[in-house]
Structure 1
Amino acid sequence: MKSDEVAHYLQDNPQFFEEHSELMANMVIPHPHGGRTISITERQMLALRDKNKQLESKMGELLQFGEENDGISEKMHRLAVGMIAAGSFQAVLHTLNFHLRDDFAVPHLAVRLWDRPADTDELPEFAQVSQELQAFAETLAQPYCGSTSGFETSSWFGEASPHVRSQALIAMRNGGGTIGMIAMGSEDVERFYAGMGTIYLERLGEMASAALARVLR
């Protein structure tokens, strides 16, 4: 019999060791962390101890993730309150910049809106954006995270642009249509990376979209 067949047999026939109880006293197996042999009872105790250590480690990770998520949720709440209180276009931009810089440690932020209201001054937020990038924003089902290479957004960060190595791009929508984009940049290539979680970035985009649409209405 092969080893897996023996394992299946013992799983399917737990009464085997009742019928052959003398085997329990005589069986010896290798120690998992050394060359000596130990009894099956000792081996079971070691296996349980190792499993407990793994469970403790996993529990520690889950607690850490929970604490981190609680912290992010508090920061998002503060940002939301600030956005609601902002009564003008400049106030919304200031609130967004302040919270992302101070609470989330995002070093570079740029906002672009496709349509400039007639009674607003020439502001960088209404600078020309290519049709290709607008079309790309339309296709974003979730925020893009990754390199700045090949994106015109790499020039949005002013003097820091040559040093920005990773970015997050969030499409802003109002009533289903895309009205603009938020770009967040970092010199750290691992700050925004492909495959990272984007749920909080999505919520950020929704809050900013609603706030900007309200003050520009």
Structure 2
Amino acid sequence: MSTDIITHEQVARFLQDNPEFFAHYTELLSQINVPHPHSGQAISIGERQVLMLRDKARGLENRLKEFIQFAEENDAIGEKLHRLSLDLMRARDLESALQALYLNLGESFAVPHVAVRLWTGQPQDLPEFGPVSEDIRVMAEGLTAPQCGHSVPEEVRAWLGEAGPHQQSFALAPLKEANMKGLLVLSSEDARRFYPEMGTLYLQWLAELTGAALSRFV
């Protein structure tokens, strides 16, 4: 007499290889009960399948809601960048371009603190042309993309004035044009605002837009 024990894997493989099995034994579908995934009560296979489909549909619905939310957020950012572009294009000098930049970042993008430093081109009597150490210049010109995190050199923090010591997160975006080099600094007291793993595509576009606008006047 054989004492071989059929494993769960063998049963599963048999049913996969023989999908017509329940067509010949339809009464089993109503006789076999399985545990409810949440309550533990016994339910039929059909009921279990319905619950699985509902869970799957709920998961797909949640993913769709996330996609819609991301799309709406991206649309909003795109609209803000568009308005900033128009304001920068309308600027007739460097001071008005900088004012447009600071105003849009503060009001539209809700960035509490912004600083700009420029170290090439024709210097002007503006804070944005203040002294910048060689270390900061090398660091900024070595960036290939915006960098986000929770710490910056003390020199950069000092550009933010009295608010500098209270800042908890930063975004550093290099400004690179043929006739101008510089650094755009965004900061916040919220440590979650700019974090190392965040995407930087829009920051990159912001830096390119800012660099192109300011380079017209330096």
TM-score, normalising length: structure 1: 0.90
Q: Give the one of 186, 202, 205 matched to 2:204.
A: 202
- Give, in whole Å, the separation in 2 of the partners of 1:162 and 1:201: 23
> How far apart are 1:187 and its partner, in Å?
0.7
Q: Give the one of 77, 87, 92 matched to 1:82.
A: 87
Runs of 5+ unmatched residues, structure 1? none
2:101 is aligned to 96
- Opposite residue 40 of structure 1, the aligned amino acid is I
- Give, in whole Å, the separation in 2 of the partners of 1:183 and 1:5: 62
RMSD value, Cα: 1.9
State which drifts further: 28-37 or 100-109: 28-37
Question: Alignment partner of 2:39: what SS?
Answer: coil
Q: Give the one of 147, 150, 155 matched to 1:147.
A: 150
> Pairwise mapping of residues 37-52 of structure 1 onto structure 2 (< 5 A)?
37-52=42-57
- Give, in whole Å, the separation in 2 of the partners of 1:134 and 1:190: 27
* Aligned CA distance change for structure 1 residues 2 and 114 (closer, same or farther; 3 Å): farther
CA offsets per residue over residues 132-168 of structure 1, 9 Å max, x none?
2212112212111111244521111001111111110
- Opposite residue 146 of structure 1, the aligned amino acid is G
Asked if the contact 2:113–2:187 (Cα under 8 Å) also holds between the matched residues in 1, the reply is yes
Question: Alignment partner of 2:184: what SS?
Answer: strand
Alignment coverage as a number of residue pairs: 213
- Opposite residue 81 of structure 1, the aligned amino acid is L
Question: Alignment partner of 1:95: what SS?
Answer: helix
* Aligned CA distance change for structure 1 residues 5 and 212 (closer, same or farther; 3 Å): farther
* Aligned CA distance change for structure 1 residues 112 and 41 (closer, same or farther; 3 Å): same
> How far apart are 1:51 and its partner, in Å?
1.3
State which drifts further: 49-58 or 179-188: 49-58
State which drifts further: 20-29 or 89-98: 20-29
- Give, in whole Å, the separation in 2 of the partners of 1:87 and 1:51: 57
* Aligned CA distance change for structure 1 residues 80 and 9 (closer, same or farther; 3 Å): farther
Task: Verify: 1:181 aligned to 2:201, yes or no.
Answer: no
1:138 is aligned to 141
- Give, in whole Å, the separation in 1 of the partners of 2:17 and 2:76: 49
Asked if the contact 2:180–2:215 (Cα under 8 Å) also holds between the matched residues in 1, the reply is no
Question: Alignment partner of 1:162: what SS?
Answer: helix
Q: Give the one of 84, 107, 110 matched to 1:105.
A: 110
CA offsets per residue over residues 3-22 of structure 1, 9 Å max, x none?
44543443343233234434
2:165 is aligned to 162
Higher Rg of the two aligned structures = 2
- Give, in whole Å, the separation in 2 of the partners of 1:111 and 1:43: 61
Question: Alignment partner of 1:170: what SS?
Answer: strand
State, as a whole percentage, how many aligned pairs show the same letter. 46
> How far apart are 1:79 and its partner, in Å?
0.3
- Give, in whole Å, the separation in 1 of the partners of 2:10 and 2:85: 60
Task: Verify: 1:54 aligned to 2:56, yes or no.
Answer: no
Question: Alignment partner of 2:199: what SS?
Answer: coil
- Give, in whole Å, the separation in 1 of the partners of 2:8 and 2:136: 59
